[in-house]
Amino acid sequence: MNVLHINTTSHSGGAAIAALRLVKAQNKQGTKADLLVAFKEKDHANIHSAYKFSSITWLFIYLEKLLFLFFEKDKTVRFSFSTGWFGRNITKHPLVKQADIIHLHWINNGFLSLENLKQLKKLNKPIVWTLHDMWAFTGGCHHAGSCTNFKNNCGNCYYLKTNNQSDLSNKIWLKKRNYFSEIPDLTITCSHWLEGKARMSSLFKNKNIVTIPNTINVEVYKPKNKEECKHLLGITTNKKYILFGAANIKSPYKGFDLFLEIIKKLQATWPENYELLIFGKCDDESINKICVPHKYIGTVYGDENVVNVYNAAELLIFTSKEENLPNMIMESMACGTPVIAFNIGGIGDLITTETGTLVNSFDTEQFATGIRGYISDEKETQIKSQKSVAAVNAYFSQAFVAQQTVQEYLKLTL
């Protein structure tokens, strides 16, 4: 069986990381799997470019965002909404022709348009689509927040300046209703939360949907000696660290404002032997707003270095406002670093009361209280650490997830 996974990027973003991990897991378990991308950011035997030059995709991204300027409410929503207007026909690519299964992931930003998805269906090959956000069943937004218009036919979209029933989101929804009538043959959601949203949607409520989580290589993401990891990172070895970070800390989804509010509540009682360890893209002005002792190490590259960061910390603070199944939480737990997070999206599929702490949505006082609990009860923190590792090994290992996906493929090919 030849499986072709398709994602816009090879390494950037959570969907790319999840897709590549699944490709590696399937190959390790004996299924031939490759990843076809618009942007090949690093070389890998199983990653292939959809075309010789990526410049055309950059042009499509610029065109889509340029045209969207006429519709967007303001610039803050520019990358939270995709129209699916631009893309390229990849049906003649050799890997597409050879594939027995076409497995879509995140295909926006000028890679595949709605028309391109329809062209793939004409090949009469089974199409599987792993949803990493809500875009497939909305009128264009990637996360609907509190909006429930996707249950009907969209329109009156929060992201658009023209707030009426027949707005751009409604027009895109109508087009999707036509194009997605037979696409995909199987929908995979990474979390039960996203499955629930899909089943409530007007476009996907009658689809074949299963929940299969993202996977992680537990031979790489695993507990290591904390002092050694601190030494390798060049941070103080006799300090205890609480971790906070993101690829882009200032992304509106990541809740940096809530993080600052939580830390301010802890300022008066912050223990002398603790520091915050901050990683990811962020500006100096924002970092300087952190009111307790902290160490900012910037963006961290490479699995080995990322593993060292998780292992250097006692706890990961995760304040995202919208998430599906965050790789960061899974990675932290695999390294034995418990996580405290808001109970939103699919995070409840990862964290239980035994492995970490779920806080009521955006309750910063409860969040601060939870952090105090970890600081004051190090024995309980250690117990959660051990149970976090066990949970990831049991439910998110490469062998377990690869087997689940292949079983679903076989149902489509029999």
Same domain, 234 and 183: no
Q: Is residue 221 part of a domain?
A: no
Same domain, 307 and 332: yes
Give me the pLDDT at residue 182, please: 87
Closest C-alpha to 51, from 65, 64, 40: 40
Q: Is residue 220 part of a domain?
A: no
Same domain, 206 and 230: no
Give me the pLDDT at residue 51, please: 83
Closest C-alpha to 220, from 342, 282, 310: 310
Same domain, 151 and 234: no
pTM for the full model? 0.91
Q: Is residue 166 part of a domain?
A: yes
Q: Residue 120 phi/psi, 5° resolution?
A: -65, -40
Q: Is residue 192 part of a domain?
A: yes
Q: Is residue 317 part of a domain?
A: yes
Same domain, 406 and 362: no
Distance CA 207, CA 227 (A): 50
Q: Is residue 20 part of a domain?
A: yes
Give me the pLDDT at residue 113, please: 95
DSSP E strand boundaries for 22-117: 32-39, 47-49, 101-104
Same domain, 198 and 241: no
DSSP secondary structure, 292-334, as one string: S-EEE-----SHHHHHHHHHHEEEEEE--SS-SS-HHHHHHHH
DSSP 8-state class, residue 351: -
Structural tokens at position 355? 């492995």
Give the model confidence (pLDDT) of 148-199 as tens digits. Answer: 999 999 999 999 998 799 999 999 999 999 999 889 999 999 999 999 999 9
- N-to-C CA span, the chain: 12
Q: Which domain holds residue 149?
A: 2-215+398-413
Instruction: Calculate mean pLDDT across residues 7-33.
Output: 94
Q: How confident is the model at residue 76 (pLDDT cuts 50, 70, 90)?
A: confident
Q: Is residue 247 part of a domain?
A: yes
Same domain, 11 and 158: yes
Q: How many domains would you assign to the chain?
A: 2
CATH at 298: 3.40.50.2000
Same domain, 48 and 84: yes
Q: How confident is the model at residue 368 (pLDDT cuts 50, 70, 90)?
A: very high
Same domain, 210 and 246: no
Same domain, 183 and 281: no
HEC letters along 74-97: CHHHCCCECCCCCCCCCCCCHHHH
Give the model confidence (pLDDT) of 272-291 as tens digits. Answer: 999 999 999 999 999 999 99
Q: Is residue 26 part of a domain?
A: yes
> pLDDT above 70 covers what percent of the chain?
100
**Is the pLDDT confidence value at 52 over 80?**
no
Same domain, 171 and 273: no
Same domain, 244 and 358: yes
Structural tokens at position 284? 């100096």
Give me the pLDDT at residue 57, please: 79
